[in-house]
A and B are shown apart, each in its own frame.
Chain A
Amino acid sequence: MTNLAMWSRLKSPWVIHFNSGACNGCDIEIVALLTPKYDVERFGIKLEPSPRHADVLLVTGSVTKQCAERLKRIYDQMPQPKFVVAIGACACSGGVFQGSYSVLSGVDKILPVNAYIPGCPPRPEAIIDGVVKLLNALAAPPAPKAAEEPQKEEAASEAAKEETVEAAPKLTTEVKPNAKQ
């Protein structure tokens, strides 16, 4: 049964997309992935509107203070195991909006992030590459414990401080962000 679940997770990951304060640049590239030129659906990657059915959360944008709580809530609604991919410079670190009064910058302030895909916006090819790397990392046999990176959830914002972030399963292989193209 576990094998079957793992097989389906790798062969057909269902993704949900949340814009937590992006400029739309990254979002239109995500939609471009689903449309005829790139068409990731042929690889089984499916965009899923409901968080309760999704395995992978694609987050774009520097997290705004108004969105932080919603982002957390959507993450909480996803079933285990779940993975977070930060797409774009904003989601990775805040991008150009770093230091503004209304953004927290970086998704990792709120959620444990499994893969970072930099770029402003990253090209669709880069996003595909990032997701494939995430899947490869999942498929790899577990490595010794020492290789694990500490989670960054302590840095959670004031808005999300009250509740502790549930730790996501840690990736055993580090997912290297691919270079900006």
Chain B
Amino acid sequence: MDILKILETKLQGKPVEIVPDYLGTAAIKAKEGSYRDVFKALMDADEKTGVTSITGIDLGAALGVFYHVRTSNAFITIQVEVPKENPKLVTVTDITPSAAFHELEVTDLIGVTFEGNPLEGHFVLPDTWPDGVYPLRKDVNPNEVKLNPSPPEEKFEQGKQVKIIIGPQHPALLEPEKFAVFVDGETVKAVQPRIGYVHRGVEKISEFRTYIQDVYLVERICGICNSCHACAFVESVEKILKTEVPPRGKYLRTIILELNRLHSHLLTLGHAGLEIGYETLFHYFWRDREPIMDITEILTGNRVVSSAMTVGGVRRDLKETDVPKIKSTLADLRKRLPFYTKVYREEPSIGLRMKNIGTLKREDALKLGVVGPVARGSGVDIDVRKDAPYEAYGEIPFKLITYKEGDTWARMNVRMDEVEESIKIIEYALDHLPTGPFRVKVPRVVPPGEVVNRVEAPRGELFYYVKSNGTAMPERVKVRTPTFANIPAFLTTAVGEPLADVPPNFVSLDPCFSCTDR
């Protein structure tokens, strides 16, 4: 880990303690406000530095603020402690703008305020939530919290700009979420997000359920990338337990994860067609998505929420007799891909509605810390499957897709090409499926420990932080989902473009708010 060496020399004399091996990643304990120096040193050393998440945690006597930072070849956690009375820190948004949303969320859930953060207000909690009560503190019983009777009135300033509110119920959004778009004539001047309509408090309830129950809970954070959530969580628990999943289990997990990606990408590619008024394309894609749901059902027993992952492996084995069916379905899909690729590359209406729209330059993508197809569409070659291979990805050959354009069109084409790669991965995994057991037995009680874990969900890097205190229930589970990291991209790229380009631009992020809000 050369980045740590660089840091060590740069941070000499600062009250900083570097722990190189902290359950799979490195940790930096920054004392006396030196975390900003660490950030500056990291930014200088590596252009791919971005804040993946900030975990606020109640440590009893103090509050912990853990900055999880991604660099090109390492993953680092910067640990800071603040006293419980008057917990205040200085923002790092001036060093890396990618931290803005994360800081706001920590303020909302655990009550650490960040001086200088440009955003304010409730971010994930309901509008009626009282001030000064933070649900993730251990001494707060959320069921005794008295909600304010009515939410505060929305301020509305009259002027040249008109505020158009999209949501919470809007035909174009499957999920309730509010975006206030300020327009001057046709041109978008600013976008204000309000997430939290689907906030179900998963992080808090997970503390009252056992690890096995939590697998089913985190899986239901999002119906679309459910296997990714379950996988990220069980992997974390396995890391704490130091359990090794048998090879067959790893391959089966990989197949399930890729099926998840296939159906998610097909869903989005179709949805983008719908947003630009190309309904035929929508129906085509959703028709071809159904066979994928069928093979998911063959493999796991359910169409959508698959419940296939469990601590120690997978819950069901794949029958030898099912393999030909899966292969022929994938072959059918592959036959249709050239047509879709042609449509996305050459169809003039797609070009008119997607090219040069919502362009996110490479520098901006790095600065905002976007992930997944959004980053890859802007030419940033990050993919957890390649950067830190998990499950069987290290053994399976596949291409990392990037496009340089950075516009809506490029992001959709990244997904289009990834469909092909996913099919290849599944076929390879089926051909090389190891024999032997598919799961191992694990103890119910997890020893104390903490771990960070990342997987590549269809929308990008999905991050989990799990802390165990030695009982049957976790102490803290933190989830950072890809859309949370990608929303800032929309807020910047939409500005200056006509209102009519907002929907395709927005859909090209493949936003998922159930994930974002948890």
Give the interface of A toward B (CB within 8 A).
18-29, 31-32, 35-37, 49-51, 61-62, 64-67, 69-70, 74, 95-97, 99-103, 120-121, 123, 158-159, 162
Contact = CB atoms under 8 A, between A and B. Distances in A.
A35 B223 contact: no
Nearest to B133: A101
Interface string B165-187: 00011110011100000000000
B176 A18 contact: yes
17 contacts: A23-B222, A24-B223, A25-B223, A25-B226, A27-B223, A28-B174, A28-B223, A36-B283, A49-B170, A70-B168, A70-B197, A74-B169, A95-B220, A96-B220, A97-B201, A100-B205, A121-B305
Contacts of B223: 22-28, 121
Given A35-B283, A37-B290, A21 B216 contact: no
A70 B178 CA distance: 11
Contacts of B174: 19, 24, 27-28, 31
A25 B305 contact: yes
A24 B147 CA distance: 27
B196 interface: yes
B220 A120 contact: yes
The secondary-structure label for the interface of chain B is: loop
Contacts of B175: 19, 22, 24, 27
Contacts of B169: 18, 51, 70, 74
Interface of B: 125-129, 135, 142-143, 145, 147, 149, 151, 168-171, 174-176, 196-202, 204-205, 208, 216-217, 220-224, 226, 267, 282-283, 286-287, 290, 293, 303-305, 512, 514
B216 A101 contact: no
Given A26-B223, A70-B176, A103-B200, A32 B147 contact: no
A24 B204 contact: no
Contact of B304 (A19, A25, A51, A99): A25
Given A28-B223, A66-B126, A99-B205, A22 B143 contact: no
Contacts of B197: 21, 64, 66-67, 70
Contact of B147 (A65, A97, A120): A65
B198 A19 contact: yes
Contacts of B142: 100-102
Contacts of A24: 174-175, 222-224, 512, 514
A22 B151 CA distance: 22
A67 B286 contact: no
Closest 8 CB pairs of A and B: A25-B223, A101-B142, A49-B171, A35-B286, A24-B223, A66-B126, A100-B201, A36-B287
Nearest to A95: B220
B176 A67 contact: yes
Nearest to B150: A162
A28 B289 CA distance: 11
A101 B290 contact: no
A62 B200 contact: yes
B216 A96 contact: yes
Contacts of B283: 35-36
Given A19-B176, A159-B128, 11 more contacts: A21-B176, A23-B226, A24-B512, A28-B267, A35-B290, A37-B286, A67-B176, A97-B202, A101-B135, A101-B204, A158-B149
B200 A97 contact: yes
Given A24-B175, A25-B223, A70-B169, A162 B199 contact: no
Nearest to B216: A96
Given A23-B514, A27-B223, A101 B143 contact: yes
B176 A120 contact: no
Contacts of B226: 23, 25
Given A19-B174, A37-B290, A121-B223, A102 B304 contact: no
Contacts of B127: 66
Nearest to A97: B200
Contact of B200 (A25, A32, A69, A100): A100
